[in-house]
Structure 1
Amino acid sequence: MRFSQNARRGMAGGSLVLAALLAGPMLISGCSSVIDGKPVAAPGTGPTEPNFPTPRPSITAAPPSGPIGVPPTTPANPTAPAGAIPLPPDENGYVFIETKSGITRCQINKDSVGCEAPFTDSPMQDGEHANGVHITSAGSVQWILGNLGAIPAVTIDYKIYDAQGWTIDASEAGTRFTNGHTGHGMFVSVEKVSTF
Structure 2
Amino acid sequence: MSDEAPGEAKKRKSWILAVVVVAGLIAAVVLVLVSGRGQTPQPPAAGAAPTSEPTSARMVTTPPTSPTTIVELSNDPEGWVGVISPSGEGCWVQAASVSCSTPTGEFNFPTPMPDENHHSGGGHPTNIFTIRADGDGVWTLGNLGLVGDNVVTLVYGITYRAHGWTIEPAREGLTFTNDKTGRGMFFSIDRVEPF
1:86 aligns with 2:72: yes
Q: Counterpart of 1:160?
A: 159
Q: Counterpart of 2:171?
A: 172
Deviations 1:3-29 (A, max 9, x none): xxxxxxxxxxxxxxxxxxxxxxxxxxx
Aligned pairs (5 A) from 1:6-155:
83-102=69-88, 104-117=89-102, 118-121=106-109, 122-125=111-114, 126=120, 127-152=123-148, 153-155=151-153
Name structure 1 gaps, 5 residues minimum.
1-80
| Contact kept in structure 2, 1:119 and 1:130, CA below 8 Å | no
Deviations 1:137-193 (A, max 9, x none): 011111011001252221111121111110001000000000010011000000100
- Give the counterpart letter for 1:134 in structure 2: T
Assess, with a 3 A threshold, how the Cα gap between structure 1 residues 150 and 136 changes in structure 2: closer, same or farther: closer
- Give the counterpart letter for 2:73 in structure 1: L
- Structure 1 CA distance, aligned partners of 2:146 and 2:174? 21
> How many percent of aligned residue pairs carry the same amino acid?
39
- Structure 1 CA distance, aligned partners of 2:181 and 2:146? 30
Report how many aligned residue pairs link the two structures: 115
- Structure 1 CA distance, aligned partners of 2:133 and 2:161? 14
- Structure 2 CA distance, aligned partners of 1:82 and 1:92? 29
- Structure 2 CA distance, aligned partners of 1:100 and 1:83? 17
Name structure 2 gaps, 5 residues minimum.
1-66, 115-119
Deviations 1:80-126 (A, max 9, x none): x9631111111111111111112x11000111100111222222224
Q: Secondary structure at the match of 2:78?
A: coil
Q: What is the TM-score normalised by the length of structure 1?
A: 0.55
- Give the counterpart letter for 1:124 in structure 2: M
- Structure 2 CA distance, aligned partners of 1:135 and 1:91? 22
Of Structure 1 and Structure 2, the greater helix share is in: 2
| Contact kept in structure 2, 1:107 and 1:114, CA below 8 Å | yes
Assess, with a 3 A threshold, how the Cα gap between structure 1 residues 150 and 138 changes in structure 2: closer, same or farther: closer
| Contact kept in structure 2, 1:176 and 1:188, CA below 8 Å | yes
